[in-house]
């Protein structure tokens, strides 16, 4: 009679698990994975981000096959995709709409983490990998925005690269590394194409790290109190897969509405004009998802000062786990933060609106006030609240 360790496998899953235990891992981490019972809809935005990124990479591969990274042919190749390649307009709209939906979900996902204190111990690494992903997506989106070689692409990139050039010591070498010369040209366009293409796959790797970090420390929840017994949790499947699946259907309806019925919202009209270095647009505006940082860049009296402040507006988020030392997680249980954080959210929205308008005196004042409150909240209010609060 054969020994137990040599008994034949009676089920395909058992045969595979004995040789490559991936099914057991998937079952443990994505089916039976314990989730808090009280998660709300805001926790579905992480799933939205993964689905949108899948659409972005799939459509990006198609676009890359048909794109020519040459300043004399780039604009024409994009027009060819839109007008001549079967379903090319749909794939490009799916890609452009994906950027809008990706950043919308990203900012909501970030706001949820701020409101519910998801950056606090033991989730610091989860928070930092998420912010790293956001920076990578921003760099990828900036590189991709230049590729169509439209008027706003060219001049928007010029503004950013001029700001980089203002950095002492490293600014000039860094801009030359990006440009391959003194101005935007073929070398710069080719390098940005390669950067855009390769960063997309690097983002997938960091997403894997982010999800791995989540599975180590488990998910936060609206109360900020981690479950202490199995009775306080639910398995991820079928409870949260069904709920996220329903929410995803609604999300895809909005996505489809944007792609099919509101394509004019996906990019600025000037970007349908081929780039001309000799003609400056009347008003250089970024896409909405970069507008808050563009408003900060303009609000400072110098390019270097604007770059420092724009960079600092993101740096405070990386420092937040150490700026906010309170053991209380959700803002709902923190009176001072409950008042200050919505104002910080409003400041970010105001900066976005200001960044989409010409830099008149009124909009510059709005930008400076909103920027000031953003920094006050993170650098003053959060440390002060940490000192004054008593855990309940």
Q: Taking the CB of residue 265, how many other CB atoms lie within 10 A of it?
A: 12
What is the SS3 assignment for 74? helix
Q: Is 210 annotated as a binding residue?
A: yes
> Between the CA of residue 249 and those of 57, 91, 246, what are the distances in Å?
20, 20, 5
CB 355, CB 293: distance < 8 Å: yes
Q: Is 172 annotated as a binding residue?
A: no
| HSE toward the beta carbon, residue 325, CA cutoff 13 A | 9
Q: Is 165 annotated as a binding residue?
A: no
Q: 235 Cβ partners below 8 Å, 6+ apart? A: 31, 32, 33, 34, 35
C-alpha–C-alpha distance, residues 34 and 232, integer Å: 9
CB 367, CB 354: distance < 8 Å: yes
C-alpha–C-alpha distance, residues 366 and 301, integer Å: 15
What is the SS3 assignment for 73? coil
> Between the CA of residue 278 and those of 77, 207, 275, what are the distances in Å?
22, 41, 9
User: Which tokens sit at 227?
Assistant: 């479950």
CB 189, CB 200: distance < 8 Å: no
Tell me the helix, strand and coil percentages in the chain, rounded to 5: 70, 0, 25
Closest by Cα among 143, 137, 138 to 74: 143
User: Which tokens sit at 143?
Assistant: 């590189």
Q: Is 237 annotated as a binding residue?
A: no
C-alpha–C-alpha distance, residues 234 and 341, integer Å: 31
- Annotated binding-site residues read 95, 109, 196, 210, 215
- Annotated binding-site residues for a ubiquinone read 215
- Annotated binding-site residues for heme b read 95, 109, 196, 210
């Amino acid at each position: 009679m054969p020994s137990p360790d040599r008994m034949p496998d009676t089920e395909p899953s058992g045969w595979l698990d004995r040789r490559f235990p991936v099914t057991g891992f998937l079952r443990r981490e994505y089916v039976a994975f314990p989730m808090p019972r009280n998660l709300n809809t805001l926790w579905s935005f992480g799933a939205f981000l993964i689905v949108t990124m899948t659409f972005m990479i799939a459509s990006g591969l198609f676009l890359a096959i048909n794109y020519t990274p040459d300043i004399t042919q780039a604009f024409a190749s994009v027009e060819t995709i839109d007008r001549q390649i079967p379903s090319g307009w749909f794939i490009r709209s799916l890609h452009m709409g994906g950027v809008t939906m990706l950043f919308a979900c990203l900012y909501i996902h970030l706001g949820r983490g701020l409101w519910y204190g998801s950056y606090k111990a033991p989730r610091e690494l989860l928070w930092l990998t998420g912010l790293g992903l956001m920076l990578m997506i921003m760099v990828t989106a900036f590189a991709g925005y230049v590729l169509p070689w439209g008027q706003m692409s060219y001049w928007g990139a010029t503004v950013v690269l001029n700001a980089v050039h203002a950095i002492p010591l490293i600014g000039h070498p860094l801009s030359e590394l990006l440009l391959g010369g003194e101005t935007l040209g073929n070398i710069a366009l080719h390098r940005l194409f390669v950067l855009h293409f390769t960063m997309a796959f690097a983002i997938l790797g960091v997403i894997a790290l982010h999800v791995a970090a989540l599975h180590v420390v488990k998910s936060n929840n609206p109360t900020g109190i981690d479950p202490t017994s199995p009775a306080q949790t639910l398995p991820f499947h079928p409870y949260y897969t069904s709920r996220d699946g329903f929410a995803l259907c609604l999300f895809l309806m909005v996505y489809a509405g944007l792609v099919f019925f509101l394509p004019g919202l996906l990019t600025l009209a000037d970007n349908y004009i081929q780039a001309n270095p000799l003609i400056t647009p009347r008003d250089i505006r970024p896409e909405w998802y970069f507008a808050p940082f563009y408003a900060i860049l303009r609000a400072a009296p110098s390019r270097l000062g604007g770059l420092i402040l724009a960079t600092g507006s993101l740096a405070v988020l990386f420092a937040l786990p150490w700026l906010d030392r309170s053991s209380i997680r959700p803002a709902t249980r923190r009176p001072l933060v409950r008042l200050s954080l919505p104002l910080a959210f409003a400041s970010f929205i105001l900066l976005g609106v200001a960044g989409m308008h010409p830099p008149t005196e009124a909009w510059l004042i709005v930008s400076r006030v909103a920027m000031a409150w953003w920094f006050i909240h993170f650098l003053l209010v959060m440390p002060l609240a940490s000192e004054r609060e008593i855990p309940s």
